[in-house]
Structure formats: structure tokens, C-alpha cells
Structure 1
């Protein structure tokens, strides 16, 4: 790898180069916003040419998608930590959804999930097989005994799809006037939670 650019510290591997590009893109987004961040901005941030960035990513939207994905991974870890001690499946799902609705719009990297068009986890991409499978894996990390609740491993895909569809609507089309957490929790307790009693 060439020894120029990169702030005088060229990456030791392609993986390091990709991560530094992602980190630089996140900084540019913080300054300029997602719609005004260009590949030239990222290259300038790193002290490299556009061609150097193109060697690792085909387009700026791919880099922004990776910024969002990494933000999502960190978010899931915090979500699971937030749910520790909540063993009831209905309570865990409701509380998890309230946490998502409260947290995602307020954090820059997470808010990218709402702005990436069809590639977004919270747009039409919310119903792709890969996204639903990711949601099912996230549910498996909940502190819940799903089998005891009458929900098998195959059922988690269906539950993940329902959750993703509801979150898509709640995040992209919030209530007017805004709905507070108490009312949202009551809504989900009334209409979503009873499904878990049926499963049992």
C-alpha cells in the first residue's frame, strides 16, 4: 500500500483502511449531514485521493451504509443491556420497541437508518429476508426463554418481521402530536402483548 496520504500513517491492511474510511465518513456526517457528505469530503478528511477511497468502496452510499450498520451493532448491545432482568417475552418486546423509538431518532449514526432510502433497515429494506433474519438473531439475545413462551426458533422470524414493520411505521411516521412513552407503551401492551398469551 502506498506510503503517502492517510495523515502520514498509512493503514497496515485493507480492513484497517476500510475502517478508517468509515470513521472519517462518520466525522464528515457529523459536520455536514448525511445528504451533503460527498466522497471528496471523505477523501479530504483522510488526506487521500478519491481513487484511494474507490479501491475500498464503490460509492458513498456504501460507506454511509457501513457507518449505519456499525452504529446499529453498538445500539443492539445497549438494547440488550437495557433489557437485562426482563424475562417476560411480551414485556421485553414492548420495552425493546419503546427503547428503539426513543433512541434511534436522537443519535446521528442510528438516524442514518431512517435516511438511506430503500437500503435502510427501516425502509422497504425492513422486510428483506436478511434484515428479518438479523432481527431474529437480535431477539435470540433477549433475556427471554422463548421456548417456554411457546415461541420456537422458526417463529422468531415472524415475530421479527412484525416488529420491523411496526418500528418502520413508528419511526418514519410518528404521531402528531408526538406520542409520549407512556401512551406508546400502553398502545403496544394493549394490541401487541396479548399475542404472546396466544403463543403460550
Structure 2
């Protein structure tokens, strides 16, 4: 075994162990390896099936080593989610074509984030209906996740609010929490199966308008005013 450099309460470097790994690792690198291993397990088996033992084997360490850094499976899944939030939100925010326009950008954020699920094995394992819903494993609007999204989206929301595009009395952090909860809806049937154009019309009418009303929107960006084509199932339910 190889000693891992750690620190005691006084800030002195102390020995620790990284399973049977031959590399010299610090705690940050150890956590990164375990998170990466968990992501690979999620891609293969989904959130409902991975076990600590499987993550340990995937990472090439002992089961006790995993527990040194994470208390349980949910903490591992949360760590995977948080690592992906940072990467995803950085890409989404930087790709907004009109970041000065709140109405257009809010819709773009929703659609770009939900589009990241398709074709990504880990995201599909976390969010698609075919696997156990992440909401059953973790609270998607729990504080660590809200904090991670708010770090990226908060500055934009503040700029829009200060510029008069958002209501002045909005609590921006709670706005992020609400947007995340609404995003879960868009990722669920039947909305998840809609075309991009239909999703955009839905987000514009039922989500963006809650934050950016016609009186607050820049000229020409008040959102759609025509009818949204939503199936009427009332006749079938009679």
C-alpha cells in the first residue's frame, strides 16, 4: 500500500491509505476518482442498482476506502450530479446567444439543459423515465444542488432584475429553486416527448411569463400570445 498525504487538525501532513492503489493521492484526487467511478457505474446500471461495493471495484479500492469519503450511495450520486452541474451550466451560460435578453435566455436555459440529457449515458441514467427517477433518490431542489446552479445563474438573474426585466421583489436564489423544479417537469412525460418548438412555446407561456411579464419584457420579446397547442384529453376522460 502507498501512503496518502493528508492533514491533521493543525494543518500538518499525516499519513492515510488509498486502498491498494499504487499512486500517491490527496483527498481531492481520491474523491475525483470515486466520483468518476460512480459515473461509470451509473451509465451501466442506473441509480437504483449501483452499490458501494461496485463503486469500490470500479475505482480499484477497498469498500472501506469509499466510506472514508462518502457516507452512502446517495452522497456518491449527489457528488456526480454536482460535478456535472458545474460543467453543464458553464457551457449553457456561455452559449446563450442573447444574454442581455431575459425572456429569450430563460427559455434557452431550460431547453439547453434538458437537451443535455439525450445521448449522455450518465445523464440518462439520472433523469430518464427508464431508470429510477433521481427525485426518488435525492431532492433535486436540495441546498447543495440549488447552490451549484445559483453560482452560475445568479449573476444573470441579478443583472436582469437590476435592469428591470425581472420583478424587483424576486428572491433570486428561490427563483433558481423554482426554475429547477419546473425543469423536472419538462424532463418528464409527456413534455419530454414534445418537439423543440412545442417545448419552447410551453416554457415561454407557463414558465418565462412567471418571471418576465409582458410589462417587463423588452419590446418585441413579450413571448407568444397565440394559443398553445396542447392536447385536450377531457373528452377521453368522460
* Residue 138, structure 1, aligned to residue 144, structure 2: no
TM-score scaled to structure 2, two decimals? 0.68
In structure 2, distance between residues paired with 1:3 and 1:162: 40
Q: Is the 8 A contact 1:92 1:142 kept in 2?
A: no
Give the 3-state SS of the residue equivalent to 1:83 in structure 2: coil
CA distance in 2: counterparts of 1:65 and 1:3, whole angstroms? 22
Cα deviation, 1:161-199, whole Å, max 9, x if unaligned, reads 4322321212134338x2111011122223444452344
Superposition map of 1:93-172 within 5 A: 93-111=106-124, 112=126, 114-117=133-136, 119-121=138-140, 126=141, 128=142, 131-132=145-146, 134-142=148-156, 145-146=159-160, 147-151=162-166, 152=168, 154-172=170-188
1:61 and 2:74 are equivalent in the alignment: yes
Instruction: Determine if the alignment matches structure 1 residue 187 to structure 2 residue 189.
Output: no
Q: Is residue 89–residue 149 contact of structure 2 (8 Å, CA) maintained in 1? A: no
Contact 1:22 1:66 in 2 (8 A): yes
Give the structure-1-normalised TM-score. 0.79
1: CA distance between counterparts of 2:89 and 2:189?
22
Name the one with the larger helix percent.
1
Given that 1:101 and 1:171 are in contact with CA atoms closer than 8 Å, whether structure 2 keeps it comes out as yes
Unaligned runs of 5+ in 1: none
- 8 Å contact from structure 1 (residues 135, 157) kept in 2: no
Q: Highest relative contact order (Cα 8 Å, sep 6+), 1 or 2? A: 1
SS state of the match for residue 172, structure 1? coil
- Number of residue pairs matched by the alignment: 192
In structure 2, list runs of 5 or more residues that go unmatched: 1-15, 128-132, 218-238
Aligned residues: CA RMSD: 2.9
| Larger CA Rg, structure 1 vs 2 | 2
